[in-house]
Amino acid sequence: MSRWKPDARGRLARAAMELYGEHGFEQTTVAEIAARAGLTERTFFRHFADKREVLFEGAAALEARLVDGVVAAPADAAPIEVVAAALRSIAPIFAERRPFARQRQAIVAANPELRERELIKLAALAAAVTAALHERGVDEPQASLAAEAGIAVFRIGFDRWVAACDDGAELGEVMDELFGSLSALVAAGVAPRKARR
């Protein structure tokens, strides 16, 4: 890939990821990112609001896709099935990106500010799924519980998928297996209670 290829945004993102990995997020400056990409700081700020956005630019699109998945689930699906289907629908976004996801995960894990930002992102996803379930007519506390359980499965599943050495199971499969484990766990420990209306 030539240095002068006009994909400025992609070059800046790749340069940033490299530098965050090499020197840490905190220690990397926008000037260094721009220099490594062979571009100017002004160009960086035309594409990204700040250093952090390189790592979180996909969050809004992810949330939108997840909500679309909730909306698109079959009308007769149980709430937890709706959430599982929505999560399955976003898994392909990550399929080609395991190396990037792995690199990103390590950068986020190494920095408290980024870990906090990641928590906020996940809380926003849970809130968006909860709201989309309300739209489908799911009551409380079922909507919040299903959304929170789903986002926990996503978080734990993503960690496991990224960490897997063999690049074997796809994210969707990992999450489906976790839903199954959650079901077994809950069945082993708590008697179901009829929802109050």
Least CB distance to a second copy at residue 83 (A): 8
Binding residues (CB under 8 A) for a second copy: these are 77-81, 84, 116, 119-120, 123, 141-142, 144-146, 148-149, 152-153, 155-156, 160, 177-196
Name which of 30 and 138 has its Cβ closer to a second copy: 138
State the minimum distance, in angstroms, from the CB of residue 1 to a second copy.
38
Whole-angstrom distance, CA of residue 43 vs CA of residue 72: 39
Nearer Cβ to a second copy, position 49 or 78?
78
Which C-beta is closer to a second copy: that of 13 or that of 70?
70
Spatial distance between the Cα atoms of 90 and 92, rounded to a whole number of angstroms: 6
CB 31 to a second copy: min, Å: 29
- Per-residue b or e along 102-124, where b marks 16 or more CB atoms closer than 10 Å to that residue's CB: ebbbebbeebeebeebbeebbee
